[in-house]
Amino acid sequence: MPKPKQTGWTMIDFETLGLFDDAIILQLGMCYFSNEELAQGHLNGTSELNLDSCIDRAVSFKFNVEEQIALGRKTNKSTIAWWKTQPQHVIDKVVKENPKLDISIHQIFDVLQAYHIKQGTTLKNTRLVDRRNYDISKLQHIYTVTMGKDSEQRVELPYNPYVTWEVSQMFQLFTGCRYANIKADEIQNDRFDYHDAGSDTALEAYRFITTFAGNTEM
């Protein structure tokens, strides 16, 4: 059977209450763009690349914290202390519990798949991109441990683990800066909230397309 064609790239980001793979997930963000959009250097429906178009493409979801505590996922004291130093509007958006909006961690792959189908592809047919392997390793832990999919047989993950990319080293290699010379704390855009997962993945998409626009060989 031929391997599925990777149709594009998905920046993925978790905001969490811990540092390790079993950390409680507060929020998931993702931003997809196709190979063709990377080659042309901007998203479809736009004439040029800008952060706003990436913010429009990105989505985020918040997850039920109490459910994750019951499932054995963990917090970390230093992470909780760090969140207390963040702007209040970001805390309200990312950390504050909202029973009407927070979804079950068991729905995480459903929302990942639904987003990609809306973009005209599937979760299996994209390259997942994160920083320091921080986010993708948590996906595997959620699936195999929290969702109880571990078995004596080889676990078939809902995404392709052989086409995952770590972006900070790519940026460092090609631009000399792990943030591609586009730093979050220098962004001046009222729609951008640093450490909101949707905003962060939009920024990574903007950096990635800016850096590799025109590339058809990756």
pTM of the model: 0.94
Closest CA to 50 of 62, 63, 59, 41: 41
For the cut 80, the answer to whether the pLDDT of residue 5 exceeds it is: no
The mean pLDDT value for 212-217 works out to 89
pLDDT, tens digit, 9 for 90 and up, residues 158-171: 999 999 999 999 99
Q: Which long-range contacts (CB under 8 A, 24 or more apart) does 37-41 make?
A: 37/8, 37/209, 38/8, 38/9, 38/208, 38/209, 38/212, 38/213, 38/215, 38/218, 39/213, 39/214, 39/215, 39/216, 40/213, 41/209, 41/213, 41/214
Q: Give yes or no for a contact between 180 and 171, defined as CB atoms under 8 angstroms apart.
A: yes
Mean pLDDT across the chain: 94
pLDDT digits (tens, 9 = 90+) for 98-134: 988 899 999 999 999 999 999 999 999 999 999 999 9
Residues 26, 197: Cα–Cα separation, whole Å: 9
48 has pLDDT over 80:
yes
Please state whether beta strands 164-166 and 126-130 pair in parallel, antiparallel, or not at all (unpaired): parallel
Helices (runs of H) and strands (runs of E) counted in the chain? 9, 5
Q: What topology is assigned to 8-212 in CATH? A: Nucleotidyltransferase; domain 5 (3.30.420)
Residue 71 has pLDDT above 80, yes or no: yes
Where are the domains positioned within the chain? 8-212
pLDDT tier at 150, thresholds 50, 70, 90: confident
Q: Is the pLDDT of residue 3 over 80?
A: no
Give dist(CA 91, CA 83) in Å, integer: 7
